[in-house]
Amino acid sequence: MVRISIEDGLVNFDVEGIDKLWSFKSRLTIPLTHILSVKIDTEAATGWWHGLKLVGTQVPGVLTAGTFYENGGIVFYDVHDPEKTIVLELEHERYQRLIVEVESPHATLRALEKAYTPKGKAPNR
């Protein structure tokens, strides 16, 4: 699972517990201005194929954690429970997408949408 915090125009994605070992990451920091979109997507982490695993762990139906090459871009996963998955589309970052499990997807989605301005929309203030 990933804990998300927002401060000073940055979003911190802190990988929790043993997932640091499985994903080979402990934290990702992304500027809010690099987020194109955020959505809840319970299907994003289901199935057995998530692209070419570059570094990390994948046990189909149990855990997907780490860095994968998928659809022409680099994607970071940290998901045990697909029902708690959010997907962030990014620009100007190493990762094209982040697919992560959070404790409360709806609350996380609201907090992120309040903090960033989706491309082509007026600010959410």
Is residue 117 predicted with pLDDT exceeding 90?
Answer: no
**Residue 124, in any domain of the structure:** no
Rounded distance between C-alpha atoms, residue 60 and residue 58, angstroms:
6
Q: Are 112 and 122 in contact (CB under 8 A)?
A: no
Residue closest to 56 by CA, chosen among 100, 23, 87, 32: 23
**Residue 120, in any domain of the structure:** no
Torsion over CA of 5, 39, 27 and 36, rounded to 10 degrees?
Answer: -90
**pLDDT tens, position by position, 96-113:** 999 999 999 999 999 999
The three-class DSSP label of residue 103 is coil
Domain coverage including residue 20: 2-115
Mean pLDDT of the chain: 89
**Residue 123, in any domain of the structure:** no
Is residue 37 predicted with pLDDT exceeding 80?
Answer: yes
The owner of tokens 């915090």 is: 5
Instruction: Please state the pTM of the whole predicted model.
Output: 0.88
pLDDT of residue 53: 83
Q: How many domains does the chain have?
A: 1
Give the sign of the dihedral formed by CA 51, CA 72, CA 109, CA 111: positive
Indicate which CATH number applies to the domain containing 38.
2.30.29
pLDDT of residue 82: 92
**Residue 64, in any domain of the structure:** yes
Rounded distance between C-alpha atoms, residue 31 and residue 49, angstroms:
29
Work out the pLDDT band at 121, boundaries 50, 70, 90: low
